[in-house]
Homo-oligomer: A and B are copies of this chain.
Amino acid sequence: MAIKKYAVNPEDDLGFGTQAVRQRIINRDGSINVKRLGIPFFSTTNTYHRLITMKWSSFWVTVITAYIIVNVFFALLYLFIGIQNLHGTGDNNVSNHFLNAFFFSAQTLSTVGYGHISPAGNVANWVAAFESMIGLLAFALATGLLYGRFSRPSAKFVFSENLLIAPYAATGGRGLMFRLANMRLNILLDVAIEVTFSFNEIVDGKTVRRFYTLPLERTRVSILTLSWTVVHPLTEDSPLYSITAEDMKSSNATFNILIQAFDDTFSQTVHSRTSYQHDEIIWGAKFVPAFSHDQDGQVQLHLGKISDYTDVELPIIG
């Protein structure tokens, strides 16, 4: 086994703990592969979280369903009060009482209030007054959510599909490399990265998960305008110095990546995550440049070429 033993440094495990894992904790898309049981379903924050992070299609279904349910509720209420308390339904060319009440409810809830149907009598007027208040608040909530979803700051990086073991000129040895670029129009500043290598080790016959924060050639760029090739130099100090593909597989090696950046459009800090597993590593390859110059001399970055690599021979190590 060529992974160096080292004293446990609890500051390195990122909060994952030391239990052996059979699956990734951080998925490729950055989501977390841990199920928490016992989270309260009806908490304001969790409801907001679900409504903000659900897919757009689910969001629209939720909004429209809620609109219909509220209108059905008020329509039934108007029917209960008596359809004769809604004046003007006779000219609405809708014979069904429930639908007349439903359409009046929709006109009240959305505050469009044409007035060809109007409430009459105390009770219908009270309900309509209350419904229009609820309508304004509910729509504001829905539109707040809509805008919240739309304007939520989030980083979106394109990562190279593979982690490469490549020649590393600065040391004359090897380096572990992956590449990333910003997929958004937003300008990212103060981009910081943290790469953690985790693997299984057998201690006293028990499998224990180990974590090691890898030193990088650089851990921060001031402004991310082009692609960034993140490099962990495989020097003798690295626990991965003489590791083989076989070692990686048998120890279920995983590389967890956390990125933090400042988004200039939103003026907020954003985060992103991904991971690489042992079967996503290419031994002996280097990245092909992903940028070019156009005829005016302007630099062009091709986001589709971020993953492109070419095979090379690796320097022999001690």
| Bound CA–CA A121/B145 (angstroms) | 33
Number of copies: 4
Count chain A residues whose beta carbon lies closer than 8 angstroms to a beta carbon of B: 140
**With A135-B110, A140-B147, A189-B271 in contact, do A297 and B23 touch (Cβ < 8 Å)?**
yes
Segment at the B interface, from A159-167, A178-186, A243-251, A277-285: A178-186
Q: Which residue of chain B has its CB nearest to the CB of A35? A: B300
Min C-beta distance of A292 to chain B, whole Å? 9
CB proximity to B under 8 Å, residues A14-50: 14-17, 19, 21-23, 25-26, 32-40, 43-50
Given contacts A35-B294, A221-B14, contact A113 B122 (CB under 8 A): no
CB of A236 closer than 8 Å to a CB of B: no
State which of B35, B39, B135 has its C-beta within 8 Å of the C-beta of A298.
B35
In the complex, A112→B74 CA distance in Å?
16
Residues of B within 8 A of A32 (CB): 187, 223, 225
A61 to chain B, nearest CB (A): 14
- Alpha-carbon gap, A289 to B20, bound state (A): 13
- State which of B34, B115, B266, B273 has its C-beta within 8 Å of the C-beta of A114: B115
Residues of B near A297 (CB, < 8 A) are 21-23
Q: Are B133 and A67 in contact (CB under 8 A)?
A: yes
Q: Is A4 on the interface with B (CB-CB < 8 A)? A: no
B38–A304 contact, CB under 8 A? yes
Chain B neighbourhood of A119, CB < 8 A: 92, 103, 114
Evaluate contact between A258 and B189: CB separation under 8 angstroms: yes
As a 0/1 sequence over residues 206 to 237 of chain A, the CB contacts with chain B under 8 angstroms (1 = contact) are 00000000000110111111111000000000
A25 contacts B299, CB within 8 Å? yes
A150 and B142 alpha carbons, distance in the complex (Å): 11
Could you tell me if A132 and B118 are in contact, using CB atoms closer than 8 angstroms? no
* Across-interface contacts of A146 in B (CB, < 8 A): 137, 140-141, 144
- 7 nearest A-B residue pairs (beta carbon): A140-B143, A15-B221, A38-B303, A144-B147, A115-B115, A106-B129, A116-B118
Interface residues of A (CB under 8 A from B): 8, 10-11, 13-17, 19, 21-23, 25-26, 32-40, 43-50, 52-53, 56, 63-64, 67, 71, 85, 87-88, 91-94, 96, 99, 102-103, 106-108, 110-122, 125-126, 128-129, 132-133, 135-137, 139-154, 156, 170, 181-187, 189-191, 194, 196, 217-218, 220-228, 258, 260, 262, 264-271, 273, 289, 291, 293-294, 296-304
**With A49-B185, A147-B148, A194-B222 given, can you name 4 additional A-B contacts, CB distance below 8 Å?**
A16-B223, A87-B91, A106-B133, A196-B222
